[in-house]
Amino acid sequence: MSLAHESPTDGGGLAALAAPPAFSDLPARSVVRAFGVTYGYVRPPEGGDLYVTRYGWPHLHALLPSQWYVGERYAAGARLPGGSGHVYRYASPRAGGGTLDLVVKFSRMAQDVPVVVDLAPPEMVTPEMIAEARFNSPMEEFGLVEELRGRALASAGDRILTQQPLAIYAPPATYEEWELGRSASSFSFHRQLLADGLEPGHMPIEFDIRRIYVMLYRWIEGLDAQDCFERGDLPEDEFLALMPEVSRQLAERGFQVLDNKPRHFILRRARGGEPGLLRRHGKLAYGLVDFELLQRTAAHQQAYRSRRRAEYWELLSRPPEVAAPALTTAVQPARILGVDYQFGAATDGGELWVVGHEPRLFDYFIPDRWRRTRRVKLSPADEVYRTRTRDQIDMVYRRSRVGLRPRVDPLTSSGRRIRESGFNTPFEEVAIAERLRPLGVHTTIPRAIYRTAHESIKAAHLRDASRHRSHDAWRPPADPPALAVPALSLDHDYYTLWDTFRGAGTHAAARVVAFDRASEDGLVSREEAEHRLHEARAQLKRGGLPGDSLEAEDFGLALDDAGAPRRNAGALELLLALDALSAYDYGLLPEREYIRLMRRTEERVRAADYELLDPQGRHLLLTMGADGCLRRDDDGEPHAVLSNFSLVRNLYRASG
C-alpha cells in the first residue's frame, strides 16, 4: 500500500513504539478506516506498513514483523495442514513476557480460486456462485469478519465464535505480477473496492499489485472437525450434520462461506474433565476460521444497501442542532456565500464540499461513490448525468463551466448580458438555488461540490479568470490558516451534485423514490410492482408517449408523510420527470401554455431579485403522471422546478 503520509509514530523507530498511545487517542494521520474497521498505522523499523485493529493494539509488540516474520515470504512458525494457501501458526513474544499465539495467513487476493468443496455445498451456494468466486482482499475480509462478529453477538440464536482479526502487514519487498499469480483486472477490482470502502477523514491508502499482504489472526485453541472425526472424538452423524448446521447459522446472520468445510470448524474438549467435546445448549460449540471466501448473502447485501439508503435520508432530515460532531478534524465546517458545508479532502486527492451541517454525509459524496457508476446523459449540450451511487443513492452531477468564456453572439442583448456576467461558480449555483427556494421558486436540491484532483488546463482563448480573481478570498479551513488556498482554482474541474428530481407528488414537498427499488425496500410486493409497471407503460403508450422505452428506474413512486406509497383509486401513484421543452415536443404543453410557463418562471425569479440570463425550457422540470397528464399547482399551472443555475444573475449586486 503506497502511503503519502508521515509515519504516525514520529519516524516509525522502535523506541517510538515502546509506549504507544491508547488506540482511541491516535491522531487522524495515523488512522485508517476501511470496510467499517479502524486501524492504527505503524511503520515498523523493518519497513513496510502495519495496520493494527483495536483487538491487536494492546499486543502491538508481538505483532511487529521482527517478532514473527522471517525471510521475504514465509513466517517462522509451523505451516497448518488442510489448507490450500500459506497459513502458519506462530507463538510471538510479548513485551512483558509470554507469547501470543498467532495465525499468519498470506492473502491470495486477485489469484484464481481453486474451490474444492469437501461435501455437497448447501443449497444457497450455486455452481454459478462458485464459478464467480473471488478471494477477499485483507481489509475487505477483516470488515466482513467484524460485521459477522457484530451480528453474531446481536443475535438471540446460537453464538458463533470467530478468530479475532489483529493486524495486516505489507512487507516492503516488491515482486513481478506473475510471481504473485495475480490477475491485473481482478486486482483493479479490489483496488476499487478498497477506494469504495475507505472512509474520509483518515489516512488514504491503496493496494499495490507488486506487494504481498499478510493477515494476523488470534489462534483459537482446539482441533478442527476433520481431525476430531478421524480421531473418533466426533460421531459420524454429528460430523455429517455439522457443515449444514454451520451454513444455516451463517445464513441466519446474512453470510455464507463458499468453501465451507470441516477444517474450518474448531472444536474443544469439554471443561472440568467431562468426556467428549464442548457443547452449549446441547449443541457442539465451535469456532469459525478461514474467511477468504466469506461473503454476504444476496438478501443480506440487499438489506445492507437498504439500511445505507435509510441512514442517508435520516441524516438529511436531521436539523442542524442535532448534527453529529465530525469524526475527525479532516472534515471541517466551512461557510461560503451564506451556505454551510462540510469540507475535506476526497480519497482521490480532490476536494469536497458537502452541503449542510452533518459530517457523516461526507462519505456518501466522495467521488469513488459516483464517478465510475453507470450514468445516463441528460443534456445534449452540457455534461449533465444521472447516476445511482455505490450506496444506491440517485443523484445528478453537472460539470461546472466556470473559468470558460461563454461562446455566445455579442450582437444580441441576451448574448451581451451573458458575456458580461460569465458562468457562475459552483458555489454561486448552490447559493442561488438555496436562496430561491424559500422565496417561492422551486429548485432542485444541491448536495455537494467536488473539485477534481487532476489539473485541467483550458486553452487561452477559452479562459475566463474573472471569477477566480474576484473570489480569491474564498478559502476553506486549513491548519495552520496561513496555508489556506483559494477554494476556486482555474486549473481544476468542478462538479455540482444534486438530488435526482423524479417528480412532485400530490404535495410538492412529498418524497418521491425510484420505483425500481420499491419492492427491494419492502414498500410494495414484487408482483404488484411488475403489474403496475406493465400497466403504466401501456397507459402512456395509449396516450402517444414512448411508454415501451421506459424502465422501472425512470419512474418515481410518491410516498405520503408516513413513508407509505401513495395511491390513486387503489393504483400506485407513479410519476415521471421531464423538462418543459420535451413536454412541448410531446404535445403535453400547447405553445401558448409553454410560453406562459416560461414567462411566469422568469417573473418569479425576478421577484426574488435574480435574472435568468439564458431561459430555456430544458432547464425547467415538470411532473407527469402515468396517466400522461402534467401535475399542476393549486393555481392550475404546471408544477415547475428550476434545475440550472450557471447563468442566473443577481439583479442589484454582484453575484454572490
What cell numbers appear for 254 in the block? 446474512
- pLDDT per 10-residue tile (average), the chain, 656 residues: 33 46 84 90 91 95 89 60 69 87 91 60 57 84 90 59 93 88 80 71 80 94 90 90 88 86 88 78 86 86 77 84 60 91 83 92 86 85 89 92 86 87 93 95 96 81 78 74 75 93 68 86 90 93 87 90 87 94 94 96 95 94 93 91 95 59
> Is the CB of residue 77 less than 8 Å from the CB of residue 90?
yes
Which stretches of 117-189 are assigned E, i.e. beta strand?
161-162, 165-170
> What local confidence, expressed as pLDDT, does residue 454 receive?
83
Which stretches of 28-149 are assigned E, i.e. beta strand?
31-34, 37-42, 49-52, 69-70, 74-75, 78-79, 87-93, 99-106
pTM: 0.67
From 524, 520, 576, 517, select the one nearest 549 (Cα to Cα). 576
The pairing of beta strand 161-162 with beta strand 286-288: parallel
| Tens digit of each residue's pLDDT (9 = 90 or more) over 148-169 | 888 755 454 566 788 999 999 9
> Is the CB of residue 265 less than 8 Å from the CB of residue 287?
yes
Residue with C-alpha cell 455437497?
Answer: 120
> Is the CB of residue 55 less than 8 Å from the CB of residue 98?
no
What cell numbers appear for 341 in the block? 458545508
CA distance 206 to 191: 6
Residue type, 303: A
> What local confidence, expressed as pLDDT, does residue 645 receive?
96
Given CA atoms 44, 46, 51, 57 in this order, what sign does their dihedral have? negative
CA distance 56 to 94: 12
| Tens digit of each residue's pLDDT (9 = 90 or more) over 18-34 | 567 888 888 877 888 88
Per-domain residue ranges for the chain? 15-221, 301-499, 512-650
CA distance 419 to 291: 61
The number of angstroms, rounded, from the C-alpha of 98 to the middle of its chain's C-alpha atoms is 42
Angle formed by the axes of helices 138-154 and 184-197, nearest 10°: 50
